[in-house]
Amino acid sequence: MNRDIKIGTIGGDLRQLVCAKALAEKGYESAVFGFNNYKGSFGETTRCITAEDAVSGSDAIILPLPVSTNGNSLNTPFLNVDISLESLFSLMKKDQLVLAGHICEKTKYLAEKNEINLIDYYEREELQILNAIPTALAVSPLFFRTIPHIFILYIQCVSYSIRRR
């Protein structure tokens, strides 16, 4: 069991929630916040009432991809309230590992100002490719119906991605 390790997931879309649920299934204490408007299953995760509850005692914190759409507030499509990145970072401690995706310069500055150990998981090429493939697969039928020649470009993109592995 990994219950000695708490991982907080704050904000984001279903990718973050799936990640939090998978961590809980692996035995980690998995706390989530920012999914108030989500009506599906949370699995074995612990739903937190505040961001502070999810941050408090966490060894690592997972933030969304992208972490922000405007540079000021956290990307929280399942929450009706804005969470400012500055206030969120003020809750965190220096020894907590904070993972976020597609971090802009302003967010990096706020993290440095608060002495937060912020790592951009989206800088990993394999994640970019793995994130792009389902996106391409989801939109390819639309392209194929509307503009058939784009489908050929899509096939070339997928074959290039496979060759890179």
Tell me the CATH number at 65.
Answer: 3.40.50.720
What range does the domain containing 158 cover? 125-164
Q: Are residues 79 and 99 in the same domain?
A: yes
What are the tens digits of pLDDT across the range 56-76?
A: 999 999 999 999 999 899 999
Q: Are residues 60 and 135 in the same domain?
A: no
In a domain, 62, yes or no: yes
Q: Are residues 86 and 52 in the same domain?
A: yes
Q: Could you identify the residue written with the tokens 């399942």?
A: 78
- Find the distance separating the first CA and the last CA of the chain, reported in whole Å: 33
What are the tens digits of pLDDT across the range 84-102?
A: 999 999 999 999 999 999 9
Do 53 and 68 touch, CB atoms closer than 8 A? Answer: no
In a domain, 1, yes or no: no
Exposure string (b/e) for 21-42, b if CB count within 10 Å is 16 or more? Answer: bebbeeebbbbbbbbeebeeee
Total-model pTM? 0.79
Q: Are residues 89 and 58 in the same domain?
A: yes
